[in-house]
Structure 1
């Protein structure tokens, strides 16, 4: 069970469904992948919402439906579940993982908490993908691009360099001041999203549901352009333009 809004709104998966159905009335079952029409039960029983992942083709449309539900029932305050999301299907694992992350964001009502959650989760996902696939293929601190022979010098630490005159994209290159013990101390999402020409994998904001569905155009521009910037500064910018 995943608590989306305390115990008021929860998400359960296949192995928990039978147990929960023994406890709660499921006469109000709604398959949200087919309809967005939800009626508040006359009795005190929870609204039971089914999400069949295998039927989901457009995750954005589904997220919009859940956002509407959240707005309608955001005033719910009780110690008992008032809304139960039942998630079934196992063919589209990536959609399932993305949807769970997005649902957590939907039910965060505090603006700062929501932006911080989205920011940190995307950073975590990118870090894990880089670690799993070893895109940069560092050897003795020299990445695959710098070993390719295209560069005059085998500069260490890959892309973690900035110009001494950044506004003019000129001057000498120097190691990013936020690079500490071969790790980014700034937690700069913009830098994490960047990959050079030697790496085929390109991160597009429209392919990251947490960014595409929750950030407005100005916030997306901030994410795209805030190279070599500390996490807290980027968070403040995102909050200002929320």
Structure 2
């Protein structure tokens, strides 16, 4: 069983430019850094910004979503207004969308129980997949559950430690795209049990410190710890 989203890694070209956006515009402090990575935290999830020096690289043009208390949403809009955010509503919940300097589509949405302040977590990640049915089978066998399907677009929304959307190549809201070779990390009770149902369909499975790393059929890297 997947218990948490431990990390999301994105690829960036220039660490100094990425640092400026994520610290100044989004208010995330740097937890640690090296010559090739910056690591921030949103709730239980580490957001890793990584230069393309090794594999796993980190996702390209990844759409993902931060949660924020409803009471702070208007403040985020004012803070980012000069970036001309796009807004969409989902029932009573609002979300704004802006692009970071590396073309990742960053969503900030009213989510959660109103506790905390700032960006309180990552509640959605979108992956691009070549064959939706194959990807859906893979991720439901990891324990995600289907909650919604696209009517006009080939997409499916799954629920797990965060919401996971699988999109065949397309432009979504705010011209967002699903990420390519995204690097995700999950907390589990037992890494071997977590991957048992997909081991025969994974492109690769390797042991890493503290767990297992799996390459899914679309080239996304999944680490289970």
Same fold by TM-score greater than 0.5: no
What range describes the TM-score normalised by the shorter chain of this pair?
under 0.3
Output the TM-score relative to the length of structure 2: 0.23
User: Relative CO higher for 1 or 2, CA cutoff 8 Å, sep ≥ 6?
Assistant: 2
Which of the two has greater helix per residue?
Answer: 1
Larger gyration radius, structure 1 or structure 2:
1
Output the TM-score relative to the length of structure 1: 0.22
